[in-house]
Amino acid sequence: MARSAKAVPWFLFAAGGTITAFVLPVMLFVTNLAPPVGLFSEAMSWETMYGFVGNWLVKLVLLGIIGFGLWHAAHRLRVCAHDFGIRADTVVAYIVYGVAGLATLATIWALLMI
């Protein structure tokens, strides 16, 4: 039996799963839910956040959270397609990993623009 190359995306999936499980709920709360109800509104102001994200370490952390999250979602969707009986695994893999790859590049570009 041939060794499967699924090991590589699985590592990204596993890393992304751990990161998103721990960090994403807090990120969503801090960036999306708290400011509209008046929490952290000063810290989350455009100027403060723009300055904060300008830091290289923050850029790297954001890329980690978003990038690994994307690869986690991509692999999860591939597995979901398989569970739903869609047997065109190679096509599904190219589509989901392609989207994750492009979105990761877009994230890098967006972060470099700041």
Contact residues: other proteins, CB under 8 A: 1-8, 10-11, 14, 79, 82-83, 85
The distance of Cα 86 from the centroid of its chain, to the nearest Å, equals 24
Structure tokens, 98: 């392609």
Q: Which is nearer to other proteins, 3 or 57 (CB)?
A: 3
Q: Which residues contact 15 (CB under 8 A, 6 or more apart)?
A: 68, 71, 72
User: To the nearest whole angstrom, how small is the minimum distance from the Cβ of residue 75 to other proteins?
Assistant: 10
Q: How far is the CB of 8 from other proteins (least distance, A)?
A: 7
E strand intervals along 22-105: none
Cβ proximity to other proteins: between 59 and 82 the closer is 82
